[in-house]
Structures are given as structure tokens and as C-alpha cells.
Structure 1
């Protein structure tokens, strides 16, 4: 044997695994091509990563949960201080509230991503954000209860319930709690948290003008990388409560909160617990994802804590906000408005505020030593509640009516922890409130017993085209976001403001179609929502018939019609489409490419790669392009449900020539004659190796039946995405 070959086979040549290939340093063979479209976002929660298996049904498991026992165990946990992580004043309430808050508080309204609905705070990057220092300890304190109750309660539910029970244990009457959040099992690597490459980079990077908070980059809500909301020391760490107030207002609005809810959450959140900055943050070990293997998933290890809660270091700000930090009372507002405040520094060097001439009896006792009293503090965000005129007026109202404040806070806390759980029909458990709230996007129950066949016949005879029928149904349903279970066809909000006027919905065409469908809905006793979806099905059946294929698209009746009074028009503005690759439309040129926008929309709709592919190919030949453009309509049988899009796309008889930033000519290879036109959202299905593999399946001579059946299945999935009332 050759000596070199012998050495290699003996293992003496070195480790057989390429250095870094199993870590994030070398996490992808495709990193050679950084601009290649990455489809991982469509399959980021593949069932293969779920240790509970495909057949696990969390909602069924919840039926086994002894809710009363779990709540009592959580309340007992609050005062069961552990030596390895001692509780402030012997009460973990503040820590558990912060865990719940920071889990839920990553939610942003723009795309519905973030939030506490999946237990994502267990994984990077959230588990290692600078704003989440020590929350790894809170999760470990909850582990004995997760171990005890097992799969009957998810981490996502347990984390949010812990904060709610903390408030109850400290005297607040909460608004309620719903179970039903299913855990994910690996990091959401594809959620965009910002472009910064360092923690807490200056917030200027997120704004066109940092002095104008509404210029923050969408879909972001937090002001700096690694923060949940705003910098508590001020804009870029420079104290100015009025400037901070402006950032607070914009940030909380992007997290679905109005001024009153924002003030209530600030006051109620800081009524209990404390901030920790008793020493040098530089002494802490690395964050959980970066710490040594011996830390076993913990991070920010403090070598100087010495078993004392008062020695903990988290934000660097030090102190409690109130005199009685383990009691939900009116102390926050009494101190904030009862004293003048001046700037000072914490032991860790953070900027904070302290009261001038405070009485000793108003000072909280030390978190570890009840024999001494210490100075309370306020952050720049707290001072904003006093100095900003709008926030001040709200706080004065709270002071004048403490019962109103408690109710407002309880409702705001409930909204914070339930905003991404979806509509009320998804709520589970004995404490789920019955009151219907407008931010739950309520929809009344619809009629199921009407002449569906007769209505279909009337729609088919209405004179509306395949394109008009299918486009209207699609536009009604495409707003659905699996990120927070908002949008969708149920409710027929496409006929209400603001959706009826959205450019992406082609208001003139929409008005024409609705003028035909609404009278038919009334005549047959159906909801408009059902009629719109049924009309789309009829259009597909007509298109299949034109292709010589007999087809019946499955239909599930029972959608209801929402009213203007049931619609929070302001929050629905965030659902407006600014692009729709399925209808080959972008509102304007964006930094992000059309194919990336398509991918993002497909993921929000809950589509897989093959589903995205077959839907787009089918929509093209049905002639549903926005404005009637012919880009990507690779067929001579427009309006017939054929696989021509894929046949043409994969045919080597053509060449592809750019004619603009997002337009292309498809030319005959021999003659050079233009045959079709296309956009990037069309051609990516031929250029991307994974999408081309899907396209080739649907282009095969033996795949027409597969194409039609897969298209219909994906269509029905989109139409029923928001039907939480059906199995």
C-alpha cells in the first residue's frame, strides 16, 4: 500500500471531521454563495426536530393537566428561595415576571414574529440577548415543575403562566390566562432581529434619523440589538426622558400597545422587583450560548455573588422602583410623583435616577439584608412617564383611580402575554376570559346549513372570470400570518376598511366582484366570507374544466362576517401586503429582492417549499397577476389549470434576457424572438436548485394529476388557515 494512503487509512493523518464543520463557523456548504436564496425558513420547524413525534397533540395533552395544582405549585415556588440562585427578599416574583415579559415582549406587529407563543426564549439568540441576563436562572428554577407536569404543559405556557402567578402571589387580580402554546425545538434562525453584528450597537443603525423614532427599520421594534424595548439609560445611553418617551411610544406601538397600555405596563411592571447592577458587569462569564461546557447551558456566571441576591448583576442599573417590591401596590406612582429626581450612577456605572430628599421609611430594604434600607431608583423610561405630557396625564388618571389602574394593567398584561396566541377560539383552560376583546380580531359564527350547490351554480353563472374569482378569494385569505394567527378569509374583512382600499387588493376589481357576490350571499343565506372562498373554488373548478380535468375543490362552510365595530383598523394596517409574488406584484422597488419577499410571505402563510411552488405555478396560468400583467403567464391557455408554467420554465428551447431591474424576456433560443415575459419571482423557480427540483417534478409528463391535486390541496390549506373552529 502507498505510504501516504496507508497513513490516511490508519487515522494518523488527523481528525476525520473537518474543523468547524459541526459548529456555526462552518454551518453550511452553501455559504460559498451568500446571495443564494435560502429556503430553510419554510422548513425551520420540521417534524424531524420534534422529540415528541408527529402524532403528539399538545391540546389533547392539556386535558390531562391539573391546572389548579400547577398554579399552587407556581405560587409556592415564588417564595422557595434556592441557595444556588437566591431570591430578592425571598421572592422570585420579579424574576418570573421579567421572564414572562421578555418572552412575550419580543413580539412585533409588523410581521407578527417574536413573542412568547413558542417558547423561543429557550434558544439563541433570545436566550443570550444582553437584555435577558439571568433569565436562564429563571428557567432553571421552573425546571422542577416542568419535570413534574411533563408534556401536559409546554415551556411556552409555563413561562408565561409563571409571571401571571407571580403577580397573583403579590396581590394583583389578573385578567385571566389561556393555555395552548406549542413549543418549538430549535432556534428560529431566520427571524430578522436586525443587521448589527455586535450587541447593543448604537440605535442610529436602525433609523433613518434617530431623532424620528417612526423611521426605525421595519419590521424591527426594539431600539438596539439585544434589547426587548428601549435602552433604560436613554437614547444610545444618553439620558433625556422626553427623547426616551418618543422611542417608548414608537416601540410599544410596534408591539401593538397604545399609550394607555404602555403606561400601565411600565407602571405595573416596575411596581414589583428590582434591577441589578451591584458590581462590575465585566466580571460575568459569557452568555449561555458562548459559555464553557461546564456551565451546562447557564451563562453570565457571577463570581462575586457569594450567595446574596443583592449582588446579582443584570442590566447594570441597581435598585428597586418602590418601597415594597414584593407587593403590587401604588408605590411606584407615589414615589415617581412624590419626589423630585436627579441623575446618578449605579455601582456598575449605569445612568439612573434617584429621589431627592427621600424619607427613610420610603426606601426599600436591601434584597439580601432586611436590617438596612437602600435607595430606590428610576430609569429614563420611568422618568418619561412623568415628563411626557401624554404619559403624565395617563399616570395622573391612574393615581386618581387605583382600581382603574389595576384593571387597565391586568388587561394590558393579558394582551402582552396573549397577543400572538390568536383568536379567542384558540383559548384553553379554566381561566380563559370570556370577554371578547377587539385585538382578538373577533368573528361571529357563520351559517353552515345553506344550499352550497345552488350558490356555486349561481357564482358560475355570474359572469365573473376565473381570474376575478380566484384573485378575490386569494386576496381575502393571503393576509393570514401563522406568526400570530391574524388575518385570513374568515370575517371577510377584505370588504371593510382598511383592506378594501389596499393597492394590493385592486380596489376597483374588488368592488366589482363584491357587488356580484354580496347579493348572492344574501340570497342563499351564506356569509360573504364563505361566498368569497367558494367563488375562488368555483374559479379553480372552471379552470380545471377548461384543461379537460373534472375537479371538485373541498369546501368547509361556517365562516362569519366581521363588522367595522369588530375590526381594529389601525392594527390591521400592519397586514397590508406590499408585495405578493403569487400574484407577481411588488408595490415598489425594495432593497430585499422579490424572491426573498415571496419566501417571507410563504413562511408567514405556513407553506412548505413544494406548496409555494405549485401554488405560484397554478396562479400564473389562471391569469391572477396583479393588474393583469402577463409576466410569468407561460401558457397559450390562460385561465385553464395546466402545468404549462413549469413545462415552459424548464424547457431548454428558451433563453432568458433581463430588460429591467425585475423584468425579463423569455426568447426562442433559435430565432431570438420574444415569447413570454417574466420577473425574478418567476425565474427563481428555475435558477434556485431546490426550487428547480420541485418545478421539474410538476413539469414531468406523468405529473399532471399530481400538479392539480397538489395545487388544490395547497389552495384549500390557504383558504382554511384561519379556521380554528375545524379540525
Structure 2
């Protein structure tokens, strides 16, 4: 009988590919991406799919709203002032620890692509669960397990983690601004989000050195004109939530730290006042832990030994917790009363001079120069006191002139500081939830904040079938082309991001700054003006947003009929028009596309400055629209034959009958009748960017193409779908699939009628 060892040796010598398994055991390391590093990972569109979700048929909204929120909060608050032996609470209060967990769950949010944030409780999974900056957050979640177990599926981890943070603030005397539930948990690790080029195993001293290496994400140095953090990243270092508390390059330079703070918090959608409020407010509580050098700490959860049962960062000193706890390496508290909301953080910061010292773990930190400065109680040993502590990132608030002025304002008006921290905390913990219509529970504030992209209430009676029919007739009589109508409707909706639920057609922000001024939307300006006239002439009040979407429905129906398929495109009225006052141009500027392959748009200088192939950005855009691979293929192929290029060009429009919802695009990308030749001089940083589609026999150029067109014939997974539509029986299936995905995109932001 062949033993497993003998079988493994035979296989190792014969198998040329990685990732093979025997009975589930991995026999070799390389993956498909190792062998083929330029392979487009289309499978990311199916990440965290229904097959991974044990609750895919569960009505979370109904279950959560049935919870007695006050009773739940009372149980959380009772737990917070207890202590267990396996992880004793600092100062007899788990509150500061839970605030940190909630903050770090929400603080991964970044405005560039809306990814990160607390919305899916991704802190439970790799890579976030094992980031250096999340040390011991695994303990916080295990401490909450009895409460989660009791409430079961009616209370998501994502909601519980934020609610525990709110309850923690409240028991320590801080008035929170409110709480909205409704976050749905993810069910697998996030293997798609780009968190930076660094690769860290976090198991040795070198891993910490790698974590603080800035070279892969920053250009220049603080103060330089070219100082910039790589897009779309927000954290200043790999495996951190915000900035290195020891300052850039661990040099303890507060002025340089202030520069990093402003950039990173700005990337997380916070202005200067919100930034100061969050830092000063958060550091009013608890302590930092740095009793043990990093090289003594064990592996993080995702690579810890199996017997650790999902817990990481084993600490060999003493009991490995309590007075020997190690997280970021800095040791001490900022205030004399770390479990009480007061203004002593700012009073201490500005009331004393501070000098650099080292923690027991060797990290750089600051202590008061004055030996008579007040002390802070030890978190575990009764009767012992310790010196106050500040981080370099704290001293930054004192030396930066703008931050200093805000601090002085907070010092002189504690009530104002309290209000601003309360609002900033609410924004931090809800920023990725999207419109307020998604919030659940009795503690949702009545306020409408600009960062929620508010919309006015609907006014007037809902459109009836006869109203819709009359509007469709008016649109058809307008003389607007199928291409222009479809392009404008799609441009209105394509801004949607599933990551933070921003964008979409509701609100008609296509007609407002900054969207109306984006180069990619230049083609829509005259169409929007014509559709506005139709809306204003309607005897039944109707929003411009609805008319824009209805115009797209008219276009698709006409194009399908021209292809020989009769179809009615679904239309759900009830959209409203946002005002310019409800639209923050600075915040919405982040939704402007760099690459939008759907409309064959690439930022003019993109090819010369970016080494990221545009098709990878196209994939990212499809992911943000929450499309599957088949939906991506159907939508793109339809947009091409509808003539929906941003500049009206024929690039990728592989048809002689533009405006007909044909399968011509798929026929071309799957055909062997053509040769696809790079255009001389079109090379960009990632390769050729323009191509001619030439007849294989005659050499005649039939079409022009971009990388975002060739993608659907070159990528094996996308080509397989394209072949479904290019087959002799594919026309009717394609039209119906296109209509379905078109409706999905148009309805993506309709949380007023579709919950989720």
C-alpha cells in the first residue's frame, strides 16, 4: 500500500502546477496568480456569493427590528464592567477596548472607492483580522460572543461591533449621536480589495519592519511638493488603520506626522475638525499597550497554530495579558481617568511640555517633562500609578497650526467639542452604510448629513401607467437617438458603488456639479436639457431622475425591437431630484471615473502614468456595480452596439447597425475572421492601448478597438460567456439578460423600495 508520504513525493516530482491537493491537503504553494501574474481575476466578481452565505434567505431587517434595542444595550453595558480571567479588562472596564475594536472596524473605510468600513464585519477575516494594528481585536470579539450567541442571526457581527462601541462611550459619560443598524455580515475573506503592494507575514521582527516601510505607497517626503499617498489607499502604512503613532519612518517628528494625519483622515472622508475630534475624543479613553517587544509576540490569527483556535498574537510574558498586554508597542494612558469622558486629554496635551521616551517594548512615545505632572492609575495593579503618555501623532495636533486652532476651540468649549466628537463618531461608524433609508432601529437620528447624500422627500402623486405611457411617447417624439438616451441613462446610474452605497440615478445628480462637468459626461448635457423640458411639460409632476431612466427604457425597447425581440423594460417610478445644496462637490468628485470601460473612457493621461492595465480598472468598476461576470459581459456588449462610447466614437462598436440590440459585439470578439493588431505608437505603461480589427483574408480594417474591448475575447472566463450570446441561439437570451442587468443598474440605489 502506498503511504501518503510516498504518494506526495511522486506527485511533487511530476506535477508542473501549484495549488494541488490530496484529500484537501495542500501539496505545493503556487497559485494560478503565481504562475500567471497578469491574469485578470474575474472570479472576484463572485466573491462572497450566495453559496458562502448560510443566511441567504434570512430576513435580517425583520429580525433586527424585532430586537428590543434598549434591552440589548443594557446587556452589553452590564458586560462592559465585568472582567474574565482569560482576558481581564483594563480598569475593570472593557469599554475602551470595545471602542478600539469598533473604530478599527469602521476606520478601514476609504473614500476613493468606498471600500473598507464596518458594514460587513470584515475585521473577522483575513487580511484585516491579522493586521498588526488590529492586535487583540480578536479578544474583543470573543468577549462579545455570549451576547452574539444569545441573539443569534438577528444581530449581525457588523452591527454588534459598532453598537458595543456606542454602549462603551455611553457608560463612560459620553452622549452618542445615534445608531443605525442594518449591516450585513460577509461570509468569507476579502481577497479582492487592494490594500497595498506590501506583503507581510507578521511572524517575525522583520514583519514589523516591513509594516512600517513606506517606500511602496508613498512618493517623496513630508513637506515635499510631490509627497503623495498611492491611490486608492488611505492608511499611511501597510497593516495600519490610519498613521504610524511614532510618526513617519518612526522618527518622532510631530510636524511630519500631522501631514500624514491630514492625508490619511482626508482619504477616509474626514475634514480637519472631524479629524481632531476623533483623535482627541478617542484618546480620552483607555490606554495603549506596549509591555513586550514585538519580536516576542506570536503569529496573528490567520497563521497561528491550529490549537490557538483562531486567536492570535500569543504573548509569552506572564499570563500574556493584563499588565503584560502588547498591541502597538506604546505603553500608557493619555488621561488621569481613562474611563470617564472629560477634556483632560487636551488639557494635558497643551498643559505640559512633552519629551521623547521609549516604551518597555522599545517604541517611541512622549512623557511630560514636569516630574510633578499628574499620573494615571495602572490598569491592573491597584495602588500603582504610571506617567501620562502621548504619541507622536498626538503631539502633531499641538504643532500643526490648523489642528492647534481647532484644539484650542475644543479646549475653550467642552460642549462644542462633545457635539463635534459625537457627530464625527457617528459619521465614522456609519459612513459606508449609504443613504439613511438603509438604517434600522429606534436610534436613527432625524438629521440629514451631507455625507449621507440626502434626497428630498417625494412630492405629488406617484406616476400611473397612463402617465408613464405618455412620457414614453414624449421621449420618442423628442428626436433623441437611442444611443443618446441609453448613454445618458447609463451615465446617471453608473456612479453607483456597492462598497459604500453612494452614487446611482436617484437624485439626478448627473445634472449637478460636479458630475455635469466631468469630461465623460459631456455627451449628456444636451440630452439632459431636452429631458428636463419633457419633465417640466408633464401634466403629472415627474422628476428629471425618473425621466432620464425612462428615456433609457425607451431606448432599450426600441433597440430590442430592431433586433427582432419584443420586450418591456421594467420601470419603477418614484425617484426624486437632489438640489445642489444637497450635493457636496468635493465628496462627489471621488466618484469621477479614472477608467470606465463600459463607456470606453480612460482618463487622458492614464496610459502614460499608470502601470495598472485599464482592464483591471474596468473589472474593479464592474465589481463596484455589484455585477457577476455574465452580467458584465451582457451589459458591455449591449452598450457597445447601442453606441454608448463617451465620445460617440466607433471604438469597440463592432456593428454596422448602431442602435440595434444585436449580438454583433460577441460575434466579433469570438470570430476567427479577424486579426487584432496594435496601433503603432499607442503603447502605454501597460502595453498597447489601441487596436485595429482587420479582416484575416483581405487585411482590410473593419473596426477600431481598445483594451477594454479585446478583454471579452482574450480572457477565457469572459470569452466563455460571450460565446453563449454569439451562438446561433443567443440573440433572444442576450436581449433578456441585457434588460435584466440594465434594470439592476438603474435600480441599484433604490433603497426606498428595495431594502438591502
Same fold (TM over 0.5): yes
Cα drift, residue 241 of structure 1: 0.8
Distance change (3 Å), C-alpha of 1:576 and 1:437: same
Cα drift, residue 311 of structure 1: 1.4
How many residues are aligned here?
716
1:418 aligns to 2:430 (yes or no): yes
Please say if residues 219 and 227 of structure 2, whose CA atoms lie closer than 8 Å, have aligned partners that are also in contact: no
Could you say which residue in structure 1 is the equivalent of 2:203? none
Cα drift, residue 308 of structure 1: 5.5
Helix, strand or coil at the partner of 1:690: helix
Please say if residues 330 and 363 of structure 2, whose CA atoms lie closer than 8 Å, have aligned partners that are also in contact: yes
Q: Which moved more, 1:23-32 or 1:483-492?
A: 23-32
d(CA) in 1 for partners of 2:749 and 2:11? 46
d(CA) in 1 for partners of 2:668 and 2:448? 51
Q: Which moved more, 1:201-210 or 1:561-570?
A: 201-210
Could you say which residue in structure 1 is the equivalent of 2:307? 294
Could you say which residue in structure 2 is the equivalent of 1:629? 649
d(CA) in 2 for partners of 1:214 and 1:369? 45
Which of 112, 132, 135 is 2:134 aligned to?
A: 132
Please say if residues 122 and 186 of structure 2, whose CA atoms lie closer than 8 Å, have aligned partners that are also in contact: yes
Helix, strand or coil at the partner of 1:204: coil
Distance change (3 Å), C-alpha of 1:214 and 1:164: farther
Could you say which residue in structure 1 is the equivalent of 2:376? 364
1:696 aligns to 2:709 (yes or no): no
Cα drift, residue 215 of structure 1: 1.4
Cα drift, residue 29 of structure 1: 4.3
d(CA) in 2 for partners of 1:17 and 1:100? 47
Please say if residues 86 and 307 of structure 1, whose CA atoms lie closer than 8 Å, have aligned partners that are also in contact: no
Which of 322, 338, 342 is 1:325 aligned to?
A: 338
Please say if residues 101 and 417 of structure 1, whose CA atoms lie closer than 8 Å, have aligned partners that are also in contact: yes
Helix, strand or coil at the partner of 1:664: strand
Distance change (3 Å), C-alpha of 1:586 and 1:20: closer
1:428 aligns to 2:440 (yes or no): yes
Which of 635, 647, 652 is 2:667 aligned to?
A: 647
Cα drift, residue 12 of structure 1: 7.8
Could you say which residue in structure 1 is the equivalent of 2:476? 460
Q: Which moved more, 1:188-197 or 1:13-22?
A: 13-22
Helix, strand or coil at the partner of 1:343: strand
Could you say which residue in structure 1 is the equivalent of 2:49? 46
d(CA) in 2 for partners of 1:200 and 1:396? 34
Point out 4+ residue stretches in structure 1 off by more than 3 angstroms: 10-13, 15-31
d(CA) in 2 for partners of 1:310 and 1:328? 23
Helix, strand or coil at the partner of 1:558: coil
1:261-276 matches, cutoff 5 A:
261-276=274-289
Could you say which residue in structure 1 is the equivalent of 2:413? 401
Please say if residues 339 and 358 of structure 1, whose CA atoms lie closer than 8 Å, have aligned partners that are also in contact: no
Which of 237, 257, 273 is 1:244 aligned to?
A: 257
Which of 726, 733, 737 is 1:706 aligned to?
A: 733
Cα drift, residue 409 of structure 1: 0.2
Cα drift, residue 60 of structure 1: 2.2
d(CA) in 2 for partners of 1:630 and 1:288? 52
d(CA) in 2 for partners of 1:23 and 1:150? 34
d(CA) in 1 for partners of 2:705 and 2:452? 40
1:37 aligns to 2:40 (yes or no): yes
Q: Any idea what the Cα deviations from partners look like across 1:97-128, whole Å, max 9, x if unmatched?
A: 00000000000000000111000000011111
d(CA) in 1 for partners of 2:576 and 2:19? 54
TM-score by length of 1: 0.96
1:670 aligns to 2:697 (yes or no): yes
Q: Which moved more, 1:547-556 or 1:635-644?
A: 547-556
Distance change (3 Å), C-alpha of 1:430 and 1:680: same
Could you say which residue in structure 2 is the equivalent of 1:537? 553
Cα drift, residue 487 of structure 1: 0.5
Could you say which residue in structure 1 is the equivalent of 2:269? 256
Helix, strand or coil at the partner of 2:387: coil
Helix, strand or coil at the partner of 1:166: helix
Q: Any idea what the Cα deviations from partners look like across 1:540-584, whole Å, max 9, x if unmatched?
A: 122122223322211000001001111111111100012211111
Which of 193, 199, 206 is 2:217 aligned to?
A: 206
Please say if residues 314 and 320 of structure 2, whose CA atoms lie closer than 8 Å, have aligned partners that are also in contact: no
Could you say which residue in structure 1 is the equivalent of 2:640? 620
Helix, strand or coil at the partner of 2:302: coil
Cα drift, residue 56 of structure 1: 1.7
d(CA) in 1 for partners of 2:435 and 2:126? 28
Which of 494, 499, 517 is 1:483 aligned to?
A: 499
Please say if residues 320 and 364 of structure 1, whose CA atoms lie closer than 8 Å, have aligned partners that are also in contact: yes
Please say if residues 214 and 250 of structure 1, whose CA atoms lie closer than 8 Å, have aligned partners that are also in contact: no
Distance change (3 Å), C-alpha of 1:23 and 1:160: farther
Please say if residues 112 and 420 of structure 1, whose CA atoms lie closer than 8 Å, have aligned partners that are also in contact: yes
